[in-house]
């Protein structure tokens, strides 16, 4: 009896150590990936310091892409949360760390020079590597075009990365982000030159894009910051946060009637 008892005890312990037995023969139709968006950042520093910051500090990202060579480092598994977005919001969803994949690009960002702010361009090979990675992520998580966001999109009051030199049009050419038709924008801009919409209209259109923006009809600093974030993405030649005819046309064409 002692031998039988010992055998049963060992079997019970072995079962506990291995976890519960789970039957995986069935799978629910009603499910989707936890990943809703991909958020792009620059690191504001070089590769060695980027690796230290993203692996030894509390801030983290799922991927880091070097500049020369454009090595792709996986730092956090996609099924785990990385701490990259912070206080963030898009399309009504808040604190996006839990629903996003974060990708950091090694890039110095900007520095203030005697003639104003200087931004570091992105290496073409680095963007090539990013596009390959984005296509893979979007296919696996079944994300639609438009799911790729800037850090400045989801946190426009405090962030400007990946900045005005990030080549969003290259991503659009790869079918990864929607892009407004230039002819349609020109036609709408001509109309808006005659009569510019109200600030409340701009705020409503920015909210349709997904931005967290005030809805009080006043051109305050938070509204300007959101306008600047949108302009930096779709009209990087001028991102002054001013509501103008071209910005109105871009919003209308992107949002549709």
Q: What is the mean pLDDT of residues 243-256?
A: 97
Handedness of CA 196, 200, 204, 209 (dihedral sign): positive
Task: Report the pLDDT value the prediction gives residue 186, as an integer from 0 to 100.
Answer: 98
**Can you list the alpha helix ranges (DSSP code H) found in 77-220?**
124-141, 151-154, 168-173, 182-194, 199-209
Instruction: State the Cα torsion 234-240-241-246 to the nearest 10°.
Output: -50
Residue 4 — pLDDT band, cuts 50, 70, 90?
very low
Select 182-255's CATH number: 3.20.20.150, 1.10.101.10, 3.40.50.10860, 2.60.40.3080: 1.10.101.10
Q: Which two tokens stand for residue 67?
A: 């500049």
- Domain-wise residue ranges, the chain: 37-173, 182-255
Q: 37-173 with 182-255: one CATH topology? A: no
**CATH number listed for the domain at residues 37-173:** 3.40.80.10
Q: What is the separation of C-alpha 127 from the centre of its chain, rounded to a whole number of angstroms?
A: 15
Please state, as a whole number, how many other Cβ atoms lie within 10 Å of the Cβ of residue 104: 28
Residue 6 — pLDDT band, cuts 50, 70, 90?
very low
Using CA atoms, how far apart are residues 233 and 247, in angstroms rounded to an integer?
11
pLDDT higher than threshold 70 for residue 8: no
Q: Which two tokens stand for residue 82?
A: 């990385």
Of 97, 77, 110, nearest to 232 by C-alpha is 110
* Catalytic positions: 104
Q: Are strands 89-90 and 110-113 parallel, antiparallel or unpaired?
A: unpaired
């Amino acid at each position: 009896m002692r031998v039988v008892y010992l055998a049963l005890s060992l079997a019970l312990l072995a079962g506990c150590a291995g976890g519960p037995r789970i039957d995986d023969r069935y799978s629910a139709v009603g499910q989707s990936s936890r990943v809703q968006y991909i958020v792009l950042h620059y690191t504001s520093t070089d590769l060695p310091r980027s690796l230290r910051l993203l692996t030894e500090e509390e801030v983290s990202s799922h991927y880091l892409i070097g500049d020369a060579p454009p090595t792709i480092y996986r730092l956090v598994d996609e099924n785990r949360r990385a701490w990259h977005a912070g206080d963030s919001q898009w399309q009504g969803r808040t604190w996006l760390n839990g629903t996003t994949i974060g990708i950091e690009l090694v890039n110095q960002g900007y520095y203030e020079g005697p003639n104003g702010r200087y931004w570091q361009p992105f290496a073409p090979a680095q963007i090539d590597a990013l596009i390959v990675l984005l296509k893979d992520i979007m296919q696996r998580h079944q994300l639609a075009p438009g799911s790729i966001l800037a850090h400045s999109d989801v946190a426009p009051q405090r962030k400007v990365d990946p900045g005005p030199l990030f080549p969003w049009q290259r991503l659009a050419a790869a079918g990864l982000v929607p892009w407004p038709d230039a002819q349609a924008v020109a036609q709408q801009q001509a109309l808006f030159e005659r009569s510019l919409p109200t600030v409340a209209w701009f705020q409503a259109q920015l909210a349709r894009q997904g931005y967290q923006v005030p809805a009080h009809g006043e051109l305050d600093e938070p509204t300007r910051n959101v306008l600047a974030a949108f302009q930096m993405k779709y009209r990087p030649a001028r991102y002054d946060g001013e509501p103008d005819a071209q910005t109105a046309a871009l919003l209308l064409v992107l949002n549709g009637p």
